[in-house]
Amino acid sequence: MQDLDAGPKIMGDDGEFHMQDDAVDLSGTSLEAWAALGIFWLLGATVFYQFFTRYVLNDSAAWTEEIARYLLIGVVFIGACIGVSKNNHIQVDFFFKFMSTRMARIMSTLVDLLRVIFLIAFAVLTLMMMIRLSHARMTMIDLPMNLVYGFSLVGFTLMSWRAVQVARRHWKRGYSVLERPETSFEDA
Domain boundary assignment for the chain: 31-173
Dump pLDDT digits (tens) for 32-65. Answer: 999 999 999 999 999 999 999 999 998 888 899 9
Q: Could you write out the three-class secondary structure of 3-71? A: CHHHCCCCECCCCCECCCCCCCCCCCCCHHHHHHHHHHHHHHHHHHHHHHHHHHCCCCCCHHHHHHHHH
Task: Give the pLDDT score at 188.
Answer: 46
Task: Give the pLDDT score at 60.
Answer: 85
Asked if residues 118 and 112 have their Cβ atoms less than 8 Å apart, the reply is: no
Q: Given pLDDT bands bounded at 50, 70 and 90, which one contains residue 7? A: low
User: How far, rounded to the nearest angstrom, does the alpha carbon of residue 1 sit from its chain's CA centroid?
Assistant: 46
Read off the pTM: 0.79
Q: How much of the chain, in percent, has pLDDT values that exceed 90?
A: 54
Asked if residues 32 and 3 have their Cβ atoms less than 8 Å apart, the reply is: no
